Amino acid sequence: MHRRAATARKWPNPLDGKLWFLPFDGVSVIDPRHLPFNKLPPPVHIEQITADRKPRWQNLSGAAASNLRLPALSRDLQIDYTALSLVAPEKIRFKYKLEGHDRDWQDVGNRRQAFYNDLSPRHYRFHVMASNNSGLWNEAGDSLDFSIDPAYYQTTWFRASCVAAFFALLWALHRYRLHQIKHEFNARLEERVGERTRIARELHDTLLQSFQGSLIAMQAARNFLSRRPEKAGETLDNAINMASGAVAEGRDAIHDLRLQPAVQSDLPQLLTAAGQDLAHSEDASGNPVIFRVAVEGERQALDPIIQDEAYRIARELLRNSFRHAQASEIEADVRYDDRLLRVRIRDDGKGIDPEIVKAGGRAGHWGLLGMRERATRIGGRLEFWSEAGAGTEVELSIPASIAYAAPRSGRRFQLIRKKKANP
């Protein structure tokens, strides 16, 4: 009985709280009151940084890894880190935070890389911590300070330069606008002064001169009245004719002042209408006049201001031919050249003394001088050819770059093509 008792098995006490497991390869016992706890936090280490798939720095840690500089425009950034634990290393967990970018800690489980692809140029601090299999965190972890250099257009001085350039541009635009306003104001003022000067010359050259001649004729008629009544009547008739001429010239001056810019028709049509009007007016010399308008070259649209000024000059020349030249034929020739717009007025009248043409008109008369000034103001040139008894020819020439409203590219292309076809 004693041997049998000595060799008897000890069965576990079912009330001691231990858990027994009977797998096929043995027996396992766990005592819940004495569970093992890993009290060693795992050391954390940052291994390397990879920027744009190129390793930049390796084996970094602590102070040795401070103030690292990454090149400008670094986009794809990868930070590798790890932690050491000999007890269940597969249960290590990580959290990291990039100060300056992440607001909170990023719990990434057991992943050992951090990825960033949207970092702007500035200073950053990367901090990582890890926990062991028992959930104990190494809160000190490891950290890394680095910065990304800015590109030239990301620097403060460049942005300040852009702001300064923007305000400089605004200032330049403001100055340019003021210059435009000043130029427009001066142009309008000059136009008004020129118009007033022209009106003064018209009054002096027409009304005042004519009425002064009428007064002299009337005074002479009064002197002849008692002694030579017939001569007095003839002198009064001359005075009346002079007064009628003054009225006609005054009406023409008022008509020119009220004349709207000639933009409704082209220049040859306007000259045709003006010549027909002058030929049938009561102010003409009284002799029948043959008037015609000739056009050479391909008609071009003219700048409205140039067309109006050219029309006014040509109309004044036609008026002088109809009224004073005693011509039987008057011709207006408009020629559209590639380089010049030419307007030529010809008549076969009594002509003008070359000395008067050279002097710019008779003393006290401003017609020729006013037309020259008007031509110069639009960039043109007015030339006279005349002799006493041989008729008069006046040509107004204006550069095509000023006169034409659109470049004659098509015409030039045709000329080049003809030259190539006929070498």
123-131 vs 137-148, strand pairing mode: antiparallel
Q: How far is CA 297 from the centre of its chain?
A: 35
Predicted confidence at residue 163, as pLDDT, reads: 94
Predicted confidence at residue 91, as pLDDT, reads: 86
Rounded Cα distance between 111 and 89, Å, is 12
Predicted confidence at residue 423, as pLDDT, reads: 43
Predicted confidence at residue 176, as pLDDT, reads: 93
Domains along the chain with CATH numbers: 44-151 (2.60.40.10), 262-423 (3.30.565.10)
Predicted confidence at residue 294, as pLDDT, reads: 93
Rounded Cα distance between 146 and 69, Å, is 6
Nearest 5°: CA angle at 193, between 191 and 195?
Answer: 65
- Segments of 216-287 assigned E as strands: none
Predicted confidence at residue 5, as pLDDT, reads: 46
Tokens of 330: 């008057």
Q: What is the pLDDT along the chain (423 residues), one digit of tens a residue?
A: 444 444 555 555 665 667 777 777 777 777 666 666 777 889 999 888 888 888 876 665 544 456 688 888 888 899 999 998 877 788 899 999 999 899 899 999 989 999 998 888 889 999 999 998 888 898 888 988 888 888 888 888 899 999 999 999 999 999 999 999 988 888 888 777 777 776 676 666 566 666 766 777 777 777 777 777 777 777 777 777 777 766 766 666 666 555 555 445 688 998 998 888 888 764 455 567 889 999 999 888 888 888 888 888 898 888 888 887 888 889 999 999 999 999 999 998 888 777 766 656 555 455 677 788 888 888 899 998 887 778 899 999 999 998 898 654 444 444 444 444 444
Tokens of 156: 């403060």
Q: 202: exposed, middle or buried (C-beta count within 10 Å: 0-12, 13-18, 19+)?
A: buried
Give the distance between the most distant pair of CA atoms in the chain.
Answer: 200
Predicted confidence at residue 252, as pLDDT, reads: 63
Predicted confidence at residue 398, as pLDDT, reads: 93
Predicted confidence at residue 422, as pLDDT, reads: 45
Count CB neighbours of 164 within 10 A: 10
Which amino acid, 95?
K
265 HSE (CA, 13 A, CB side):
9
Predicted confidence at residue 13, as pLDDT, reads: 61
Which amino acid, 224?
F
The DSSP result for 333-368, as a single string, is: EEEE-SSEEEEEEEE-SS---HHHHHHTSSTT--HH
Predicted confidence at residue 374, as pLDDT, reads: 81
Predicted confidence at residue 411, as pLDDT, reads: 46
User: In this structure, are residues 314 and 271 in contact, taking their beta carbons and an 8 Å threshold?
Assistant: yes
Predicted confidence at residue 170, as pLDDT, reads: 95
Tokens 């050249």 — which residue? 337
Rounded Cα distance between 310 and 252, Å, is 17
Which amino acid, 410?
G
Predicted confidence at residue 273, as pLDDT, reads: 87
